[in-house]
A and B are shown apart, each in its own frame.
Chain A
Amino acid sequence: MTTPLILGLLAGAILSGTSLLYATLGETIAERSGIVNLGLEGILLIGASVGFSVTAASGNAWLGLFAAGMAGGLANLLFGWLVVTRKANQLASGLAMMFFGFGASALIGARYVGAVIVGLPKWRPSWLAGFRWVKATTLFNYDLLTWVAIPVAVLVWWALFRTRWGLGVRAVGESPAVAFAAGRNPAVLQYQALSCGGVLGGLAGAHLSLSLTLTWSEYMTAGRGFIVIALVIFSKWNPLRAIAAALLFGGAESLQLQMQARGSLISPFLLDMSPYILTLIILVAWGGSRRLAAPAGLGRTFYGSE
């Protein structure tokens, strides 16, 4: 391995990991409030298609990014209405959101298949560009979402673990009945957590289409939503650990792209399998210890009095 290869790998890991990190943070907030959104894949697709379509139509990637965040938040509010207000089964509702995302994104993006857009602007601080080994790669040449990804993760950690609001969210996730008895409103907190999670999911999807691929195609998220659900478990519902988890999986994706670009002898189809298999392996390896870290009320429906 030569130095440019390693740097290229790292640069790719950060770029691919960005959208994984935003999605993982969003799902972490929702799951901390006790709600599993298995439909994250659909939210990512909606974010990617809305972001791309609005950018293609308006010529402004920032507008696309904003619209994607809003769309993700709205989609999660719909999910919230099902699981919080109507108290529907979370897994089934999540799958319904997945189907909704499949269909809605295909409809939204249909007019812009093959459209050419100017994506999110990227820049590299000039003092970093001075280094010779940086200049040869795309390292540090990132868009805003990537630059602020780690600060956002710290912010989410701070909000969940150092604020009164976060305490409420986590209390609802552990035991809605106790939180209710302590004077917090579980439904309101869950709606708030879900809308934050939805906005982050929408941004994650938009980063894929506005920065990574610069195209829209149906099902382009290719299961990242399900990988992220595993990443939340892997990071033990902790936003700071999520940074490492997202980097690891971004690295796997980047390695696969580097190998394909360098004409590896391994078939691209086999390389494409690696993220899913890696996810399964990690779930198996973390299978035993994760019970302790999971919010106790995850996936349960709260009926107001128990």
Chain B
Amino acid sequence: MPEGGLTAVLRRSTALRTTVRHCGIGVGALLMFAAILLAAGKDPLKAYVDTFHYTLANSYGFSELLVRMTPLLLAAVAVALPARLGLINVGGEGQLYMGAFMASAGAFLLPTAPRLILLPFVAFMGFMGGAIWAAIPGILRAAKLVNETISTLLLNYVAPLIVSYFVFGLWRASENSAYPQSSPFPDAALLPSFFNTRIHAGLLIAVVALLAYWLLLEKTRWGVDMRAIGGNAEAAQRLGIPVPAWIVTALAVGGGFAGLAGMGEAMGIAGRLRQGLSPGYGFAGFLIAWLAGGRPLGIVFMAFLFAIITSAGDTLQMTQGVPYAVVNILLAMILFIVLARRSAGGTSK
């Protein structure tokens, strides 16, 4: 009993230390970003106060954080799952676009189907869009032809062009619109939203995906196999684990989650297919999964943090005329600090 008590105390103190460390990293990154904004002649304090005001200070702002977290959670799982095998999926952005594209195709294919059929069909198509897009790098990697890092990155640039091709072509809205977007989806294809906010069923899908990811890793044989491959692929192969099949499957399922994120953005938020449907959620998902070390609770925490950061990007754009893309500096600062302090001991690969 006293031993158990001691371990509990020890565990709590490491948890405390982890929290303090994370907060330290966050504060450090915010200070460095503030210095850069200041150097550019902007007001960082106003930016931070405004962001707080728009996100955490009222219930509507908070609901918008949950809306942003939806694609971030899914995009993070898309990275974390293949990462268990030691695979680096940097293609979440492309997979997200393909998910939105295929889901839209589903909605336009069966415009008169009842909701009970159309919604599951659209979700399935969204999943498949991302899965196919991620299976391509998976197959190339399993065949030892191309490293998945570079192929997933390259495919990120192709998927938005496919969306643009259809948005400007076949699916272009018939009403005279200067904004390139498809015609609206049939009502039966739209995800239900809750509490008079923009929170939509995609959030439920994201939570289920995260739970499934956790169950898969911790409670099934498959999780053990995946960890074995991540530890030493060659040894796993000798043990009879079909490594190439696992590589393709893990990337495809991961990509499918990113595809669901794209489906959510199209069917839950916009109600149409739009050209710039993601401001880099796929890339953010990579950072979230990496910073969280693939741990489910860490992913939730980091996704929440990133939802605030991306809101800061919007706030900066609205109140101080700073391009949204500038928020990438803040992401880079967090990474720099984590990278610079993590390794010198020699733990990194």
Interfacial chain B residues near A230, Cβ < 8 Å: 150, 154
Q: Is A123 an interface residue (CB 8 A)?
A: no
Interface Cβ pair total, 8 Å cutoff: 138
Are B348 and A96 in contact, with the CB atoms below 8 A? no
Beyond A223-B154, A270-B161, A276-B157, whether A103 also contacts B340 by CB under 8 A is: no
Give the B interface residue count (CB, 8 A).
51
Beyond A273-B158, A277-B158, A280-B151, whether A82 also contacts B336 by CB under 8 A is: yes
Task: Give complex CA distance A91, B322 in Å.
Answer: 29
Are B343 and A88 in contact, with the CB atoms below 8 A? yes
Are B158 and A99 in contact, with the CB atoms below 8 A? no
Interfacial chain B residues near A284, Cβ < 8 Å: 140, 145-146
Are A96 and B161 in contact, with the CB atoms below 8 A? no
Are A89 and B165 in contact, with the CB atoms below 8 A? no
Task: Give complex CA distance A119, B344 in Å.
Answer: 44
Task: Give complex CA distance A69, B321 in Å.
Answer: 28
Task: Give complex CA distance A287, B88 in Å.
Answer: 18
Task: Give complex CA distance A115, B297 in Å.
Answer: 47
Are A269 and B342 in contact, with the CB atoms below 8 A? no
Q: Is B330 an interface residue (CB 8 A)?
A: yes
Task: Give complex CA distance A89, B347 in Å.
Answer: 10
Residue of chain B at shortest CB distance from A275: B157
Are A38 and B149 in contact, with the CB atoms below 8 A? yes
Q: Is B135 an interface residue (CB 8 A)?
A: no
Beyond A99-B283, A103-B326, whether A93 also contacts B339 by CB under 8 A is: yes
Q: Is A200 an interface residue (CB 8 A)?
A: no
Q: How far is the CB of B205 from chain A (nearest CB, A)?
A: 27
Give the A interface residue count (CB, 8 A).
46
Q: Is A303 an interface residue (CB 8 A)?
A: yes
> Does more than half of chain B's interface fall in helix, strand or loop, or is it mixed?
helix
Interface membership of chain A positions 214-235, coded 1 if the CB is closer than 8 angstroms to chain B and 0 otherwise? 0000110011001101100000
Interfacial chain A residues near B10, Cβ < 8 Å: none
Q: Which of A86, A222, A270 contacts B157 (CB 8 A)?
A: A222
Beyond A82-B336, A89-B348, A92-B335, whether A104 also contacts B165 by CB under 8 A is: no
Q: How far is the CB of A246 from chain B (nearest CB, A)?
A: 17
Are A269 and B326 in contact, with the CB atoms below 8 A? no
Q: Is B164 an interface residue (CB 8 A)?
A: yes
Task: Give complex CA distance A276, B88 in Å.
Answer: 19
Q: How far is the CB of B5 from chain A (nearest CB, A)?
A: 38
Q: Is B36 an interface residue (CB 8 A)?
A: yes
Residue of chain A at shortest CB distance from B163: A269
Task: Give complex CA distance A102, B332 in Å.
Answer: 9
Q: How far is the CB of B327 from chain A (nearest CB, A)?
A: 7
Q: Which A residues contact B (CB, under 8 angstroms)?
A: 38, 78, 81-82, 86-89, 91-93, 95-97, 99-100, 102-107, 110, 218-219, 222-223, 226-227, 229-230, 267, 269-270, 272-273, 276-277, 279-280, 283-284, 287-288, 301, 303
17 A–B contacts, CB within 8 A, in A order? A87-B343, A87-B344, A92-B335, A93-B339, A96-B332, A99-B329, A99-B332, A103-B332, A106-B324, A107-B36, A107-B326, A226-B157, A276-B157, A277-B158, A283-B140, A283-B151, A287-B140
The 8 closest A-B pairs by CB, nearest first: A103-B328, A103-B329, A287-B145, A106-B325, A100-B332, A96-B335, A88-B339, A269-B165
